[in-house]
Homo-oligomer: A and B are copies of this chain.
Amino acid sequence: MAAEMVPATNDVRARDRLFRAAIELFNRMGYAATTVREIVEAAGVTKPVLYYYFGSKEGIYLAILEEARKAFQARVDAVQQSGGRVRERIFSLSRELFRLFRENIEVVRLVHAVYYGPPQGAPPFDFDAFHYTFEAVLEHLIEEGVRVGELRPGNIRAMVTALHGATGACMEIALAHPEVGVDETELDQVLEVIFEGIARQKRRDKEQHR
């Protein structure tokens, strides 16, 4: 990078302001419609500061997503390194990812807009990794739970989807209706439903009675 590109003051707060301004503008106007000039004006810095930290509009966009990916992986790793009952670890994992989702709801909005929105010319990013990682960890936890006798044997793929769906449903409410204020307590209750089941008489009970 040429020396003249380096801003006079290496102000880490300038990087943060650019980050936040970009997220806000991408969400309000769309990624395609947002210009570098609008981002630097909203952040109160000059263009070279953006180029110094991020290289380009694509660069700041990818930095936003990469930071989200790292934060996601850190929560997953923390749960994977923890011990205790499988049930507690599944609750923990779901809760941590739901909390991260809510803490970064504006980045989540941007991800949804690019993933589901019309083509906006944004550089490619592996959004599916979030889902696949969550599902892979759930799958390992369920397998362990069945092995140690904490969970019943059954269709593990369907169990993963049920648990993923529970967290996904709470996430969707948090995203579409923040005014509802859905929180970890509600998520716990939904996970509890999946652990306990909603049928009064279980097929297993019936089988035992035969």
Asked if A87 CB lies within 8 Å of chain B CBs, one says yes
Given the contacts A162-B190, A169-B168, A197-B202, A29 and B155 also touching, CB distance less than 8 Å: no
Within 8 A of B (CB), among A1-31: 26-31
Residues in B whose Cβ lies below 8 Å from that of A113: 116-118
Asked if A112 CB lies within 8 Å of chain B CBs, one says yes
Asked if A204 CB lies within 8 Å of chain B CBs, one says yes
* Chain multiplicity (copies): 2
CB distance from A137 to the nearest CB of B (A): 16
A65 to B194, CA, bound (A): 33
Residues in B whose Cβ lies below 8 Å from that of A198: 142, 145, 151-152, 154, 159, 162-163, 194-195, 197
Asked if A124 CB lies within 8 Å of chain B CBs, one says no
From A173, which residue of chain B is reached at the shortest CB distance?
A: B161
Within 8 A of B (CB), among A76-112: 87, 109, 112
Decide if A118 touches B30 in the complex (CB within 8 Å): yes
Within 8 A of B (CB), among A168-210: 168-170, 172-173, 176-177, 186, 189-190, 192-200, 202-204
Asked if A123 CB lies within 8 Å of chain B CBs, one says no
Can you name 14 extra interface pairs (CB under 8 A) apart from A168-B168, A193-B194, A195-B197? A28-B119, A29-B119, A30-B118, A87-B199, A152-B199, A155-B192, A158-B189, A159-B198, A161-B190, A162-B169, A165-B165, A165-B169, A165-B170, A202-B202
B-contacting residues of A (Cβ < 8 Å)?
A: 26-33, 87, 109, 112-113, 115-120, 128, 131, 142, 145, 149-152, 154-155, 157-159, 161-170, 172-173, 176-177, 186, 189-190, 192-200, 202-204
